[in-house]
Structure 1
Amino acid sequence: MRLHALAMAALLATPVAASAQDSFTCAAAPEPVMSLAYGSRYAEGDASRSELDTTADAEADDALRPIDDFLRDLTETANTVLDEGTDKAAVADCLVGQMAAWARADAMGDLQSPTSNLTIGARIAGFGLVLLQVQDHSRMEAEKAEITGWLQRLMQAQLVFWEEEAPDGARQGNLRAWAALAASTTAALTDDAVMRGWAAWSVSYILCKAEADGSLPQEMSRGKYALKYQLHSIAPMAVSVLLLDRQGIALQGSCSNALARIVGFAVEDLAEGRITAQITGKTQSFFDGTDELEGFHLAWLEAYLLLEPEGASALNQLAETYRPLNFSKLGGNQTLLWQALR
């Protein structure tokens, strides 16, 4: 039975017992973000998208912060469903109720700039991956249907955008990969064959663009950020390939084992960035003081190790250095989420 809005608000504000030893308080959902209209983070006229405009970068961060903060909170709570002694139903119902508030408002449905359309995929994926974690524990069937309907609407708009409006360069890179992860996740929730097919096509399109050495041409055009964006492409592709594999579509061998080559290129260059620097002519951001390699850059390793378990000792050793590997846009603690399936 669908809960009345006032009853839902009361539920979200009511402390709920999580276990005999602990208590769980379900907070109200934050105010839904309805519209996004920020521009590119990069300097005007910079075709390589490698020179940040600090003002535009801050404006984009400010616009996305309420969404990203909400996703971070959702994933942290969703991951507790795997903890022993957690009242899984209470946690799941809380999160479903929170996301349903955004679904009911049609949050993120008014994307007023090309850049907001380009970057929303990772956020859609994040919400979907939270629901995948908790849906089997939640009793709120009507609210779950509201969330999947909302994600479906957002993704249908994304399909049109990527096929009709997205810039050619973006179609070949990490932003398309994140939209594909959103589609893979939505398909897993809704069993939508068209969405699943578009996700598989999009991942395959990017995989097949890889050079023989595994470098991705679109990401290699990003100057000193090339290696960083190669990693940023791998994250959604690795998880998408795993999700699609479990939906009956095997892509890990596509285009002469492109995913393995793409991963191999990035991992080999993490020590010095020498190969990427030779391609781009730029010292990479992980080595010039701009960026620091962190666990979230490698969070995809847990999913990838399930796809390529043979001969993965070096990758497992790399993962162990940074575990637990956590990235909210991939659903939170990847080590916790995937370890049971290892």
Structure 2
Amino acid sequence: MTLKTLRSAALAAFVSITPFVLPTTAAAFGAAACDAAPPPVMTLAYGSRYATDSANRSQIDKQSNEEVNAALQPVDDFLRDLTSLANEVAKPGVDAAAISECALSQIAVWADANALANLESRNARLTIGSRLAGFGFVLLQTTPHVKDARYMQRIAPWLEGLMLDQMVFWEEEAPDGARRGNLRAWAALAGATIGTVIDDPVVRGWSAWSSSYVICTANPDGSLPQEMTRGKYALHYQLHAIAPLTVSAALLSRRGIDLTARCDHALSRIVNFAVNDLKDGMATQAITGQRQSLFDGTDQLESFQLAWLEAYLSIHYDPSLIGLADSYRPLNYSKLGGDQTAIWQQMQW
């Protein structure tokens, strides 16, 4: 069966399902009632963040960047709120079931509307992966606490349809360079989270294949060729690729899929290259010929850029990385589900 056939079947199944009508808010929990879901975002269409004459996508166009952020803000705001809600379930003394039901009820509203189904620009399809992964992480944290399957009966076909569309896009339509870089890695992370939540071996398998595809491009020193084309932002983007690659590997390992040994243990080489270069960026500078943004005053390293360490340490023990993680804790990144320490200590998947 081809990916197109899979996508068609999934979308047909979605259309055929009559959603079970539930209120848009869940029961009250704590002192506050569950908020209603924000209006579903149906369509995304935006251009590139980068200047049109920036061949290596290293020059951000201020106006274009603001336009992209404005288009994505309603989705990202919703995911940040959902992530904050999902992180509450790990705290002692809370009603985890009510909190989880609240999150699921909000996502179900977007599922009923078939939100995000109209991705009208290539850039929208290139960048939606991290947002789908965000929904997946919320579900990984909340669904174990809700026995009522009616929410997931509404949510699962929606996410499956979006995910299968991503699979077709990355195999058949994505630009060659992007297929080898961080955006594909984020789409693969979406596959790892959603494939786990809906227990779909095809989606999980595609996630493993796509993660491996990016991992196996690594140079002998661990640098990722696609990210090394990004000029002074190369190390920044190497870190941005490491996040989904390592977290996908950790999630998939729990389903018996080991990515750590692929291509002569390329994942550890990728991680070590970036971590070792955090002291001065000279290894990346030697490749790109440019002083890196983390060291030229443009940017500074923030803890969210190392949030993936919690997941990676669950599959690869390294005392030096434990020390690095300790120095930046608490490690929190909304695109990886929020509080990483809580997630990877208590993950029930």
Aligned partners of 2:257 and 2:235: how far apart in 1?
28
Aligned partners of 2:137 and 2:29: how far apart in 1?
25
Aligned partners of 1:261 and 1:82: how far apart in 2?
33
User: Unmatched 5+ residue regions in structure 1?
Assistant: none
CA contact (8 A) 1:324 1:336 kept: no
Partner of 1:189 in structure 2?
197
Q: Indicate which of 26, 29, 38 corresponds to 1:17.
A: 29
Matched letter for residue 121 of structure 2:
S
CA contact (8 A) 2:19 2:112 kept: no
Q: Indicate which of 231, 248, 256 corresponds to 1:240.
A: 248
Matched letter for residue 77 of structure 1:
L
Q: Indicate which of 262, 267, 276 corresponds to 2:275.
A: 267
CA contact (8 A) 2:90 2:346 kept: no
Matched, 1:336 2:348: no
User: Alpha-carbon deviations, 1:183-209, whole Å to 9, x = none?
Assistant: 111110122121111111101111110
Q: Indicate which of 11, 15, 21 corresponds to 1:4.
A: 21
Partner of 1:279 in structure 2?
287
Matched, 1:76 2:84: yes
User: Unmatched 5+ residue regions in structure 2?
Assistant: 1-17
1:83-162 → structure 2 map (5 Å cutoff): 83-162=91-170
User: Alpha-carbon deviations, 1:93-128, whole Å to 9, x = none?
Assistant: 000000001111111110000000000000000001
SS at match of 1:319: helix
Q: Report the CA distance between 1:140 and its aligned residue.
A: 3.6
Aligned partners of 2:222 and 2:32: how far apart in 1?
46
Matched letter for residue 29 of structure 2:
A
Partner of 1:321 in structure 2?
327
Runs of 4+, deviation exceeding 2 Å: 1-5
Change (3 A) 1:136 1:339: closer
Identity of aligned residues (%): 55
Aligned partners of 2:268 and 2:316: how far apart in 1?
8
SS at match of 1:244: helix
User: Alpha-carbon deviations, 1:213-252, whole Å to 9, x = none?
Assistant: 0000000000011001000000001110111111111111
Matched letter for residue 4 of structure 1:
V
User: Alpha-carbon deviations, 1:43-101, whole Å to 9, x = none?
Assistant: 11322111111111110011111111111111111011011111011101000000001
CA contact (8 A) 2:232 2:288 kept: yes
Cα root mean square deviation, aligned: 1.4
Q: Report the CA distance between 1:278 and its aligned residue.
A: 1.0
Matched letter for residue 321 of structure 1:
S
Partner of 2:230 in structure 1?
222
Change (3 A) 1:17 1:185: closer
| Alignment length (residue pairs) | 330
Q: Indicate which of 54, 60, 65 corresponds to 1:57.
A: 65
SS at match of 1:270: helix
CA contact (8 A) 1:174 1:233 kept: yes
Matched letter for residue 147 of structure 1:
I
Q: Report the CA distance between 1:316 and its aligned residue.
A: 1.0
The normalised TM-score by structure 2 is 0.92
The normalised TM-score by structure 1 is 0.94
Aligned partners of 1:70 and 1:163: how far apart in 2?
29
Q: Report the CA distance between 1:17 and its aligned residue.
A: 3.4
